[in-house]
């Protein structure tokens, strides 16, 4: 049974005339008659009583007519829905992102995307990079913003480094600056009260390790918070915290960078190589890239943050799993101070996700049972 046969049948049933039905369908009358007879043969029953000048439906034709109309209407609805998807009037994008990125530039990217495609439904899952990569590989996400290097050997995953971001020290503006007139070094954190993230945040491990490499254990004024809690404690003057520069720029706090190159991390975009991305996912990638490119061009990226892809590259078109991964992570210390903590490409991913130090890493950690639970939010927009 073919759709065009049903369409011809409905046209004859509504016009009660084969010639007029053929004119409506823009086909030759013999061709239409032949297709209707083929349909009758397939169904095993005549659909019309044929008499000169009088065409009427048989009992089988009366039964088929409402069903054929419904099938044709559903087919047209399906065609329209697909066209709407291609035109980005409807659809869904499932995006994963680490907590600090949800606090950082992601709201601006989603606002840009929503302005362009208000009918697209956005599902945002918040979690550590390792959890997001697992969900991406399992088909639960379309895209994931993660901290590189990728903690997975799955050849089906493709990644693209986007930006390299500095980590900075934030303090309340009501408190005196930690240093004045010279760069900030890790050694300056000795005996300085820190507001520390809960166990499981890689930023906690990075900060503690850096301080111990500098010859001292950090002093915690308060510990155990998530990002929002830590920022609130800092604003209240309970101590300082080390956070990503893109998060720090949104705060009304004193921001002090570490002496260059400081402590850095690489942010990348990941998707499945073996699954063709939807049009909506491609456009979200494009909006992300355009936002970062424009921010870099206009100087709106925070100090110490730089774009990692050239001006002609477009991650909405191509993601390269062999793209450069993160540079070694390090903290500068005074020349007369202590040795620099250094982690190679398999080392810790700052801030967001529990991980295990890779081969050659000077920091090794086991699994963290207190890993931050993932949070999922949904943005549903209508025209």
Taking the CA atoms of residue 165, residue 166, residue 169 and residue 174 in that order, the dihedral angle to the nearest 10 degrees is -60
Question: What does pTM read for this prediction?
Answer: 0.62
User: Is 272 a domain residue?
Assistant: yes
| pLDDT tens by residue, 24-57 | 999 999 999 999 999 999 999 999 998 877 889 9
Q: Which pLDDT band holds residue 382 (cuts at 50, 70, 90)? A: very low
51 & 146 share domain? no
Q: At what angle do helices 3-15 and 18-25 cross, to 10 degrees?
A: 130
List the single range of 185-194, 219-228, 311-320 with lowest mean pLDDT: 311-320
pLDDT value for 365? 31
Residue ending a domain, choose from 63, 86, 109: 86
Residue ending a domain, choose from 86, 101, 125: 86
User: Is 341 a domain residue?
Assistant: no
User: Is 51 a domain residue?
Assistant: yes
Q: Is the per-residue pLDDT at 112 higher than 90? A: yes
Q: What CATH number corresponds to the domain at position 292? A: 3.40.190.10
- Nearest-CA neighbor of 196 among 185, 209, 187, 181? 209
158 & 9 share domain? no
Residue ending a domain, choose from 54, 86, 118: 86
Q: What sign results for the dihedral spanned by CA atoms 233, 236, 105, 257?
A: negative
Residue-averaged pLDDT of the chain:
79
Q: Is the per-residue pLDDT at 219 higher than 60? A: yes
User: Is 15 a domain residue?
Assistant: yes
Q: Is the per-residue pLDDT at 117 higher than 50? A: yes
First to last CA, the chain: 38
pLDDT value for 202? 64
150 & 104 share domain? yes
Domain count, the chain: 2
pLDDT value for 317? 45
User: Is 359 a domain residue?
Assistant: no
**Domain residues for 33?**
3-86
């Amino acid at each position: 049974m073919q759709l065009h046969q049903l369409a011809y049948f409905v046209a004859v049933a509504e016009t009660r005339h084969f010639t007029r039905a053929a004119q409506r369908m823009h086909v030759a009358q013999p061709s239409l008659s032949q297709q209707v007879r083929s349909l009758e043969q397939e169904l095993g029953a005549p659909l019309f009583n044929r008499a000169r000048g009088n065409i009427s439906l048989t009992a089988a034709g009366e039964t088929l007519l409402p069903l054929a109309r419904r099938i044709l209407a559903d087919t047209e609805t399906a065609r329209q829905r697909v066209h709407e998807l291609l035109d980005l009037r409807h659809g869904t994008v499932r995006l994963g992102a680490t907590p600090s990125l949800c606090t950082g530039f992601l709201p601006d990217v989603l606002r840009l995307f929503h302005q362009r495609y208000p009918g697209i439904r956005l599902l945002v899952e918040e979690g550590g990079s390792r959890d997001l990569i697992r969900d991406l590989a399992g088909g639960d996400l379309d895209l994931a913003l993660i901290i590189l290097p990728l903690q997975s050997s799955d050849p089906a995953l493709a990644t693209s480094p986007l930006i390299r971001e500095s980590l900075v020290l934030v303090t309340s503006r009501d408190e005196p600056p930690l240093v004045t007139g010279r760069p900030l070094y890790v050694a300056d954190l000795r005996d300085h009260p820190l507001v520390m993230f809960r166990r499981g945040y890689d930023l906690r491990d990075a900060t503690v390790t850096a301080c111990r490499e500098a010859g001292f254990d950090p002093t915690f004024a308060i510990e155990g918070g998530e990002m929002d809690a830590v920022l609130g404690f800092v604003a209240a003057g309970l101590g300082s915290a080390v956070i990503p520069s893109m998060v720090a720029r949104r705060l009304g706090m004193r921001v002090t960078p570490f002496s260059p190159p400081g402590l850095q991390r690489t942010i990348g975009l990941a998707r499945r190589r073996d699954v063709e991305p939807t049009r909506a996912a491609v456009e979200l990638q494009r909006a992300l890239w355009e936002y970062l490119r424009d921010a870099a061009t206009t100087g709106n990226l925070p100090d110490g943050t730089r774009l990692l892809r050239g001006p002609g590259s477009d991650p909405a078109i191509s993601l390269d799993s062999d793209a450069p991964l993160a540079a070694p992570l390090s903290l500068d210390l005074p020349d007369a101070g202590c040795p620099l903590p250094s982690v190679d490409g398999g080392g810790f991913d700052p801030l967001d996700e529990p991980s295990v130090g890779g081969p050659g890493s000077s920091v090794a950690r086991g699994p963290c049972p207190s890993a931050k639970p993932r949070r999922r939010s949904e943005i549903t927009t209508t025209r």
